Structure 1
Amino acid sequence: MKGHSVIDQMKTKNFYIILLFIAATSVSLWLFSYPSSSFRVMVSKTHKQINNIKYLPSNIEDVRELTVDPLYLHALGFTKQLTEENTDSSANMPVIATAVEPGKFEESVHLMRSVQKHLPSSHMVIFDLGLSKSQKIMLGKQCNSTWHCSVRLLRFDKLPSHVQYLESKSYRPICIQKILNDFGAVIWTDTSQYFASSGLNQSLIDQAKKVGLVAWTIVDSTSSLTHPKMFQYFKTKQEEFYFHRAIEASHLIIYNTKSIHEKLMLPWVKCALLEDCISPTGAQNVGCNHFRKPLFRYSGCHHYDMSALNIILGIVFDFRVETYTTKLKVFDTLNKYKNNSTTPGLMAARLAH
């Protein structure tokens, strides 16, 4: 009898569970079929929030601004009133400048030797981006006052924290601006480059003085090397740059004219000081898709400060690349130099003695 009683209780329990399920389903169907006003409001608000999330990128696009702490801009010389007279340099040869990243000291040796060979009378400034103690000593031996060479330490503690992450090269426009403040003109070259000849003739210098900038193009378009979100900071669109040929930021000649100071260097430095501008969420510099079609589509490989510079150049020069570029051979890449020179390890060992 007890066995039958337990079975009967289980059947009754299952019956009530089924009954409650049917009742809940019926109520739900009724609410959706004949909803109350409060229920309608709830559904309407939920739908509105979903739409807001759907169109969130458009809303963000409207509020992206190059807003930077004025203390940084003041320290970099952007807050004083400038005129054409006090920004234009009359120097015949700009200062040569570079920045040495940790682990890349040996690259800088090749560059310094090429300067000594082809431009021995030039003044060279080298920014130390955090070299080790031993590398500082070797740099001091190679760069000394006998050939107008000096070393400066870039103080990352005086800049936004993201600048110290060297992959984005946020430091490059900042270093260039510091040189322009002090000398009025700069030939910037990364340590991956070297002077292949004494090709800095007077016509090239004259072009740089007149335009404010001389650069060298590459085969890629600006749109293919730039994360789509970066364009929003400059109030422009990616499609405007489909056929804008990019220039390489690893070697440049820049004169501190009023126009260059206000229209090119200011927005470039501002972007470098804003982490989300120089390195938008999702941006990376690896994994490029070189087989994409059409070729002006984003390759998936962002070039950080170089991308920002090319956007600015397109806007400032109305996409006329020929205005500020040259085909004159002046620089070459380090890889070619290494094939015909002493190995870096042996060279560093010699400098240490």
Structure 2
Amino acid sequence: MAFKSNLLLKLNYMLILLITLGIFGYERIMYSINISNFNIGRSLNRKDSAATSLNKSISLGDGKKRIFVYKNHQQLTAKKELVATEEQMQRLALSQPSFIELSKENIQDFVFVTAASENHFTESFDLIGSIQTFYPDRNIYYYDLGLDSEQETIIKTMCGVKYRKFNFTGYPKHVSQYLWTCAFKPLIVQEMLTKHKVGVFWVDSSIRFKTGGTEKLWEKIKNGNGLMLFLNRFINKNFAVTHPGMYDYLPAEEEDMRRRGAYGAGAFLIYNTKFVHEYFFKWLVLCALNRHCIKPKGSRLRCARAQEDISSYLNCHRFDQSAFNILLYDTYNFPGDFQSEICDSERLSVNRTKQTMFKVKFCT
């Protein structure tokens, strides 16, 4: 009798537990199942629920705003909030995002996107020429960050190039005031993902392609669950080139950042999958919208003299790249061959000078 009573008690306990999970954990369980459907190799770090959640909505003198607080996979919670206006939430489709399911077929549907101000215009010529050479059938969206009228006219006559004037209106002043922070970059990419429902291959004006073809993209995109990198890690660790103030918004273990190299954020291919949006890119966008996240007080681009210890802080900051890497490391595991799983470093190179490696094609 005692054995039967204990068995019944255990069965009742299990039933209550299952009911409780059914009521409170259905969404989390289903999300885990959906994520597990992807064959993403060993790269995935986030396997459970969303990185963090929307805390609250507040009404201020200048309108309604939404507040987010980041929590990483080690359960470190940000000390400071990330804020976005309702207008920004709507414009960037952060409130009601539309996701895609990855397949070998739909990853072929992507466009190139770049942006330049007046002083980077000539630098972008070899970028355009290299895309025209290796990807002649691909559209190139060129965002104007402050070109003069003559430069605008030239862009509009390049074959396969679609000119877009970036609308800074509605975004915080720091986005246009401090272009070197590249706060505009995540915003442009998110706008493209929202409007065109295709993959976005972001390329800085300094990027030069060395080869084309899309046959080898699938495995790496699948491993990254919608994200693929193209620039190797730099010699300095991410901790060395990240201002401590950024960790108030995007927390990370210091020792992790001291061990991890920094990947370049100048070229990446991204698709609006639920995984990439919820764990990675939404937070990069939110950081870009908040001045003291992307540009902490006292941050500067120029580094102190290099030290033998490449993990020591160099009193400099890489703005979008620093945030990119914090989120990258939090979203994905980094085993020894992580680079081979989602990074293709042979496809392109970086050159920040005006050259004539490629001849730009014009269509009048």
- Report the TM-score, using the length of structure 2 for normalisation: 0.70
* Structure 2 counterpart of 1:97: 113
- Does residue 115 (structure 1) correspond to residue 126 (structure 2)? The answer is no
Answer whether contact 2:223 2:341 (CA < 8 A) is retained: no
What corresponds to 1:43 in structure 2? none
Q: Which residue of 1 aligns with 2:204?
A: 190
- Residue matched to 1:69: 85
CA distance, structure 2, for counterparts of residue 73 and residue 127 of structure 1: 21
Deviation at 1:102, TM superposition (A): 1.7
Q: Is the 8 A contact 1:88 1:257 kept in 2?
A: no
Q: Secondary structure at the match of 1:106?
A: coil
Whether 1:154 aligns to 2:171 is no
Q: Which consecutive unaligned segments of at least 5 residues does structure 1 have?
A: 1-60
Secondary structure at 1:338's aligned position in 2? coil
Mapping 1:308-323, distance limit 5 Å? 308-320=323-335, 321-322=338-339
For the Cα contact (< 8 Å) 1:89–1:257, is it kept in 2?
no
Write the distance in 2 (CA, Å) between the matches of 1:335 and 1:213.
25
- Residue 118 of structure 2 aligns to a residue in which SS? coil
Letter in 2 for 1:298: Y
Q: Are the equivalent residues in 1 in contact too, given 2:265–2:321 (CA < 8 A)?
A: yes
**Which runs of 5 or more structure 2 residues have no equivalent in the other structure?**
1-76
1:291-316 alpha-carbon deviations (Å, 9 max, x no partner)? x2421111112000110010001111
Counterpart of 1:54? none
User: Is contact 2:183–2:289 with CA below 8 Å preserved after alignment?
Assistant: yes
Alignment deviations for residues 104-126 of structure 1 (CA, whole Å, 9 cap, x no partner): 22122211111111110111111
Residues 83, 249 of structure 1: CA spacing in aligned structure 2 closer, same or farther, 3 A cutoff? closer
Mapped partners of 1:294, 1:319: distance in 2: 21
Q: Give the Cα separation in 2 of the matches to 1:307 and 1:116.
A: 31
* Residues 324 and 302 of structure 1, relative CA distance in 2, 3 Å threshold: farther
Check whether the contact 2:130–2:358 (CA below 8 A) recurs between aligned residues.
no
Give 1:192-207 correspondences, 5 Å limit: 192-198=206-212, 200-207=213-220
Give the equivalent residue in structure 2 for 1:333: 350
CA change 1:333–1:62 in 2 (3 A) is closer
Aligned residue for 1:208? 221
Distance verdict in 2 for CA 1:141–1:71, change over 3 Å: same
Q: Match for 2:191 among 163, 178, 193?
A: 178
Deviation larger for 180-189 or 152-161? 180-189
2:305 maps to 1:289: yes
Call closer, same or farther: CA 1:82–1:324 in 2, change over 3 Å.
Answer: farther
Change (3 A) 1:293 1:68: farther
Q: Does 1:257 align with 2:278?
A: no
* Per-residue deviation, 1:323: 7.0
Which residue identity does 1:70 align to in structure 2?
E
Residues 207/325 of structure 1: CA separation in 2 closer, same or farther (3 Å cut): closer
Give the structure 1 partner of residue 232 of structure 2.
Answer: 217
CA RMSD of aligned residues (A): 2.8
Deviations 1:259-280 (A, max 9, x none): 1111111100000000000000
SS at match of 2:123: helix
Structure 2 residue matching 1:155: 3-state secondary structure: coil
Contact (CA 8 Å) 1:223, 1:298: kept in 2 or not? yes
Q: Aligned equivalents of 1:117 and 1:84: distance in 2?
A: 29
Whether the 8 Å CA contact 2:92–2:190 is kept in 1: the answer is yes
Which residue among 141, 160, 166 is the counterpart of 2:179?
Answer: 166
Which structure's residues are more often helix, by fraction? 1
User: How far, CA to CA, are the matches of 2:262 and 2:273 in structure 1?
Assistant: 22
Number of residue equivalences: 280
In the alignment, is residue 300 of structure 1 matched against residue 312 of structure 2?
Answer: no
Q: 1:240-251 alignment to 2 at 5 Å?
A: 240-251=256-267
AA matched with 2:209 = F
Q: Which amino acid aligns with 2:253?
A: K
Change (3 A) 1:306 1:252: same
- Which of 210, 234, 239 is equivalent to 2:255? 239
Cross-structure match for 1:139 = 155
Identical aligned residues as a percent: 25
Question: Is the contact made by 1:217 and 1:325 (CA closer than 8 Å) also made in structure 2?
Answer: no
Per the alignment, residue 145 of structure 2 pairs with 129
Letter in 2 for 1:316: T
Change over 3 Å in CA distance of 1:119–1:341 after alignment to 2: closer
Q: Which amino acid aligns with 2:320?
A: D
